[in-house]
Amino acid sequence: MPKRKLGRKSAHRKAMFKNMLTDFFRHERIETSLAKAKELQPIAEKTITTARDNNLHARRKVRKKINDREVLIKLFDEIAPRFYDRPGGYTRIIKMYPRRGDASKRAILELVE
């Protein structure tokens, strides 16, 4: 359950995080606001942990969170095997400069090498 509502209704928030998670695994990093990055990080880590099992049940669970079939294949074939021996901590948040227009705190969420 997310801690922050981010000024959105629950359906909008859920759709936004599904799209952000899909783009995160497609590019293996995403630049967003600090609050969104902090909310997306545990979702991404739990998804990678589920994908490490690499069975039909895991694929069906992850499919609910990932919108794109190619990204799903990339997650199971490339990303999850990289973290097979790692017990957790697959992502990192790097704080960036504030956005110029409204001074919003920015961050990069990326996979750990």
- Structure confidence at residue 50 (pLDDT): 97
Angular region, 29: left φ>0, alpha ψ -120 to 50, beta rest = beta
pLDDT band at 16 (very low <50, low <70, confident <90, very high): very high
Total domains, the chain: 1
Q: How distant is the alpha carbon of residue 44 from its chain centre? A: 4
Q: What is the pLDDT of residues 22-71, one digit of tens each?
A: 999 999 999 999 999 999 999 999 999 999 999 999 999 999 999 999 99
Residue 99 sits in a domain whose CATH number is 3.90.1030.10
Q: What is the pLDDT of residues 73-103, one digit of tens each?
A: 999 999 999 999 999 999 999 999 999 999 9
| Burial (CB count within 10 angstroms: exposed 0-12, middle 13-18, buried 19+), residue 107 | buried
Q: Quote the CA–CA distance of 61 and 47 in Å, as a whole number.
A: 9
Q: Is residue 79 included in any domain, yes or no?
A: yes
Q: Is residue 2 included in any domain, yes or no?
A: no
Phi first, then psi: what are they for 80, rounded to 5°?
A: -60, -40
Looking at residue 3, the DSSP 8-state letter turns out to be: S
Does position 109 have pLDDT exceeding 70, yes or no? Answer: yes
Report yes or no: 25 and 75 within 8 Å, Cβ to Cβ: yes
